[in-house]
Structure 1
């Protein structure tokens, strides 16, 4: 089958975007991510998208390790608290840190570049550079 147009988002990026949507909503509404995920899944119309399994894994993985992930982000964001970070950036960082630490089949460079790309599309002008720096430092820590 022929490859779709270049504007078509790769499956894992779509999964990250869906995970971001769920984590963003959970963060904004101060609800557990798995609760928001359950509601999200109920609203989906069949057939489920092929990338859904990876998105679910990201949300559940971040939710299950949120304290550790947030602790790492907070310790590597020089001069910033998690609360001061834009909600999009905070949740992109959470997804990327989860991938850096717990998803072996994703290269560190891919996890970082995907977070940066989504930040370019969805956050502030400063966000890509900020996330690249923070995630780069966390990746160095993770490979020690």
Structure 2
């Protein structure tokens, strides 16, 4: 989530930040290694960013995507990608983790808002996940 947030704040592709952090990690391990699931999510979101942002936008009620707090956009982007493409992560877990992040990092109204948007998007998850496996 922090990579997606930072990428938007800097106006750079999130995949550039991963590459940058990998370079720094090679000489300074305090930065933390960029590998595994975090990279999968960032690369996955980046590859489908326009579609994911459009999907989120279409499920907002009385808000525009641009008016959302930046941290909420990052949480929604991460969780929407997981809902659609992380077949090994239960939908309820995605929702719970997103609400937890919103509670810890955003406004008092954000947890309920994020939960509502993701709950509406989660209805699509089974069909998208099944299509991705060819079932």
Give the alignment's TM-score, normalised by structure 2. Answer: 0.85
Compute the RMSD of aligned alpha carbons: 1.9
Could you say which structure has the higher helix fraction?
2
User: Within 5 A, what are the aligned runs for 1:1-144?
Assistant: 20-44=1-25, 45-46=28-29, 52-143=35-126
Q: Secondary structure at the match of 1:143?
A: helix
Judge conservation of contact 2:84–2:124 (CA < 8 Å) in 1: no
The whole-number CA distance in structure 1 between the counterparts of 2:42 and 2:29 is 20
- State the Cα distance separating 1:43 from its structure 2 match: 2.3
Give the alignment's TM-score, normalised by structure 1. Answer: 0.80
- State the Cα distance separating 1:92 from its structure 2 match: 0.5
Q: After superposition, what is the alpha-carbon deviation per residue over 1:54-77, rounded to whole angstroms, capped at 9, x for unaligned? A: 111111011111011101100001
Judge conservation of contact 1:112–1:136 (CA < 8 Å) in 2: yes
User: Unaligned regions of 5+ residues in structure 1, if any?
Assistant: 1-19
Moved over 3 A (4+): 45-52
User: Unaligned regions of 5+ residues in structure 2, if any?
Assistant: 128-135
